[in-house]
C-alpha cells in the first residue's frame, strides 16, 4: 500500500525543489549534448531540403492545361522513342478536327538557361551548350501536352496548342530521352555522358567501367501535375529512352545492365548483365525480343523480353568510339535497322557510317550499306534510322548526306547532300520528309526522289531530335534549349533555299 510522505520524510532533493529543477535541467542539457550531432544534422538536412526545394522547385500551373475538346485529337500514349518502332512520329487528323490543329499552331518555348537562337554556342562549344541547357532528343506529344526533357535537369510539360508551361519537374541530372506517357503517368530517365576519374582509368585499362556519375534515375510522374509517384536509381547513366509494353519498362544503362521494371511500382522484374554500357541506344521491341546497342565491348544485342537472357549478339570489325551504343534502332517486318561507325584506315577521312539490316530472330546481317567516309564528327556519331513503307531513311553524321534505302534489299534509291551533321530521324507526312539537322535548319525533302523543297532556318542547332507531326504542326526541340511548334505549311513554303535534286543510284 502506498503511503503519502511528509516533507520531513522525503529525501533531501524533495525538500529543496530548486535542486530538483537544476538536476533536471542538467540531465536535459546532457542528453541534448549527447544527441546534438544527430539533431543538428537533421536540422541541416531539413534546412537543405527546404533550400533546395526553393531553388529547384517543381512548378504546376493548372490554368495552362489544354481543353478536353482539343486534347482528344492528339495521340493517347507514347510508349517508345519517336512513338513507334519505325520511328516515324506522324499523326494525321480527320477533316472534322478543329481548323486550328489542321492548319498548325505556332509558338516557341525557352527552357531555363536557353540561348538566343542567333547566339554563338556557350564558350564557342556546341557540346558545352548541349550538355548545359540543351533539349537534344525531342518531344513527346500526348493528349494536348508536349513533354520534353532538358540537360539542365528539368522535364517540362507544355500546352501543345499554346506553348504555355503546365509543370516542371527537376530530376538532378541531364534528361536525354523522350518522356514516355502511359495511363496518366510520365516516365523520365536521367544521366550524364561523363566518366569520373576512376572509371576513366578503368576504360583506358580495358576494364569494365560505369558511365554516368551523379544521380541516375527513372521517375514516374503524374502526367497532369508532374507530381512524383516513384523513382528508381541506377548505378550508371540512364540517358536512352525506355520502351513500354504490357505494364513493363525496358531500358539499358551506363552500368552495363538492361532493366525490366514494373511500370506501376518501379520494382525490377529482371536485371540482365550485358557488360556493355548503353550510351544513347533506346530499346526497340519486337513480339519476342528487345534490341539495343552497347559499348565496351561493342555489340548489338537481342534480349528475351520475358527472361532478360541474351538471345543473340553481333558486332562489326573496326568499330570506333561508342560504336553500336549510340544509335537508336528501328524495327519493321522482321528487320532491325541499326547504324554504326567504323574506322576506314584513311588518315584524311578516318571514319564512315555503316547502315545494317539484321534478321530479328538470328542477328544475321541481311544487308549492309557503307556511306561515304569523312572526318570524325563531334559527340554522337550515328543518326536515327526511320522506316516508312518499304524504305529506310537515314542520315550520315560523318558527311551530312541523307539517304533513301530499300528496306528489303539495301539498294540505295537516292542521296541528298545537306552538308551539316545529321543525327535526327525524319518525319514523313504527305510525301514530304521533315528533317532537322545541326546547322539549325529543317529540310523539307520530297520522299519520292530526294528533291530538297525548302530549307527552313530556325537558328541554334539540332542534335538527335526527331520531330513530331500532329495534324498541321511540327514539334521539335533543339540543343539551344528551345521547344518549337510551327505549321508544316510555313516550312514547306519557305523560299530560303532553292530546290535541289538528289543523286539517285
pLDDT tens string 276-323: 999 999 999 999 999 999 999 999 999 999 999 999 999 999 999 788
b or e along 51-73 (b: 16 or more beta carbons within 10 Å of the residue's beta carbon)?
eeeeeeebebeeebbbeeebbeb
Q: What is the pLDDT of residue 343?
A: 95
Rounded CA Rg of the chain: 27
Q: What is the pLDDT of residue 322?
A: 82
pLDDT at 393 over 80: yes
Q: What is the pLDDT of residue 24?
A: 44
CB-based contact 413:405 (threshold 8 Å): yes
Least confident of 18-32, 249-263, 408-422: 18-32
Q: How far, in Å, CA of 467 to CA of 323, rounded?
A: 24
Mean pLDDT of the chain, nearest integer = 88
- Looking at 174-224, which runs of residues are DSSP E strands? 180-182, 185-189, 216-222
Q: What is the pLDDT of residue 504?
A: 59
Q: 42 pLDDT band (50/70/90 cuts)?
A: very low
Q: What is the pLDDT of residue 203?
A: 85
Q: What percent of the chain has pLDDT over 90?
A: 79
Intra-chain end-to-end CA distance of the chain, in Å = 110
Tens-place pLDDT, residues 329-379: 999 999 999 999 999 999 999 999 999 999 999 999 999 999 999 999 877
Q: What is the pLDDT of residue 58?
A: 79
Q: 46 pLDDT band (50/70/90 cuts)?
A: very low
Alpha-carbon distance values, 355 to 195, 322, 327, 341 (Å): 28, 15, 10, 9
Q: How far, in Å, CA of 471 to CA of 159, rounded?
A: 16
What is the domain partition of the chain in residue ranges? 1-46, 60-492
Least confident of 25-34, 248-257, 466-475: 25-34
Q: How far, in Å, CA of 324 to CA of 337, rounded?
A: 12
Mean pLDDT in residue range 377-383: 82
Mean pLDDT in residue range 450-466: 95
For cell 529540310, the residue is 443
The CATH code that applies to domain 60-492 is 2.130.10.10
Q: What is the pLDDT of residue 377?
A: 85
Amino acid at each position: 500500500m502506498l503511503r503519502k510522505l511528509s516533507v520531513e520524510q522525503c529525501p533531501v532533493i524533495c525538500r529543496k525543489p530548486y535542486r530538483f529543477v537544476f538536476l533536471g535541467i542538467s540531465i536535459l542539457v546532457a542528453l541534448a549534448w549527447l544527441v546534438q550531432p544527430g539533431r543538428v544534422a537533421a536540422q541541416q538536412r531539413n534546412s537543405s531540403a527546404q533550400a533546395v526545394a526553393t531553388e529547384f522547385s517543381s512548378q504546376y500551373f493548372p490554368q495552362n492545361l489544354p481543353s478536353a475538346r482539343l486534347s482528344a485529337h492528339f495521340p493517347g500514349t507514347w510508349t517508345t522513342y519517336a512513338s513507334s518502332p519505325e520511328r516515324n512520329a506522324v499523326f494525321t487528323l480527320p477533316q472534322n478536327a478543329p481548323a486550328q490543329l489542321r492548319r498548325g499552331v505556332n509558338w516557341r518555348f525557352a527552357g531555363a538557361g536557353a540561348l538566343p537562337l542567333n547566339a554563338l554556342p556557350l564558350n564557342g562549344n556546341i557540346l558545352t551548350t548541349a550538355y548545359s541547357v540543351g533539349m537534344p532528343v525531342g518531344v513527346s506529344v500526348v493528349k494536348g501536352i508536349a513533354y520534353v526533357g532538358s540537360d539542365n535537369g528539368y522535364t517540362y510539360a507544355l500546352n501543345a496548342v499554346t506553348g504555355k508551361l503546365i509543370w516542371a519537374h527537376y530530376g538532378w541530372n541531364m534528361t536525354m530521352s523522350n518522356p514516355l506517357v502511359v495511363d496518366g503517368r510520365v516516365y523520365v530517365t536521367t544521366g550524364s555522358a561523363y566518366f569520373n576519374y576512376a572509371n576513366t582509368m578503368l576504360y583506358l585499362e580495358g576494364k569494365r567501367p560505369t558511365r554516368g556519375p551523379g544521380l541516375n534515375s527513372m521517375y514516374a510522374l503524374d502526367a497532369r501535375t508532374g507530381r512524383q509517384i516513384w523513382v528508381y536509381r541506377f548505378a550508371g547513366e540512364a540517358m536512352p529512352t525506355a520502351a513500354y509494353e504490357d505494364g513493363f519498362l525496358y531500358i539499358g544503362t551506363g552500368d552495363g545492365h538492361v532493366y525490366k521494371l514494373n511500370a506501376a511500382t518501379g520494382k525490377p522484374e529482371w536485371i540482365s548483365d550485358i557488360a556493355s554500357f548503353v550510351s544513347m541506344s533506346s530499346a526497340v521491341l519486337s513480339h519476342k525480343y528487345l534490341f539495343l546497342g552497347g559499348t565496351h565491348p561493342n555489340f548489338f544485342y537481342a534480349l528475351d523480353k520475358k527472361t532478360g537472357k541474351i538471345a543473340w549478339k553481333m558486332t562489326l570489325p573496326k568499330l570506333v568510339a561508342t560504336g553500336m551504343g549510340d544509335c537508336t534502332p528501328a524495327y519493321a517486318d522482321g528487320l532491325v535497322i541499326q547504324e554504326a561507325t567504323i574506322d576506314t584506315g584513311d588518315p584524311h577521312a578516318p571514319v564512315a557510317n555503316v547502315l545494317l539490316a539484321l534478321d530479328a530472330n538470328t542477328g544475321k546481317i541481311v544487308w549492309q550499306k557503307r556511306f561515304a567516309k569523312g572526318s570524325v564528327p563531334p559527340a554522337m556519331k550515328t543518326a536515327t534510322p526511320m522506316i516508312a513503307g518499304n524504305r529506310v531513311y537515314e542520315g550520315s553524321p560523318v558527311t551530312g548526306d541523307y539517304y533513301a534505302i530499300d528496306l528489303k534489299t539495301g539498294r540505295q534509291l537516292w542521296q541528298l547532300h545537306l552538308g551539316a551533321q545529321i543525327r535526327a530521324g525524319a518525319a514523313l507526312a504527305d510525301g514530304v520528309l521533315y528533317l532537322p539537322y545541326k546547322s539549325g535548319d529543317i529540310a523539307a525533302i520530297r520522299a519520292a526522289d530526294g528533291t530538297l523543297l525548302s530549307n527552313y532556318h530556325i537558328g541554334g542547332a539540332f542534335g538527335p531530335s526527331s520531330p513530331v507531326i500532329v495534324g498541321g504542326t511540327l514539334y521539335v526541340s533543339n540543343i539551344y534549349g528551345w521547344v518549337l511548334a510551327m505549321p508544316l505549311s510555313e516550312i514547306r513554303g519557305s523560299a530560303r533555299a532553292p530546290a535541289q535534286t538528289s543523286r539517285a543510284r
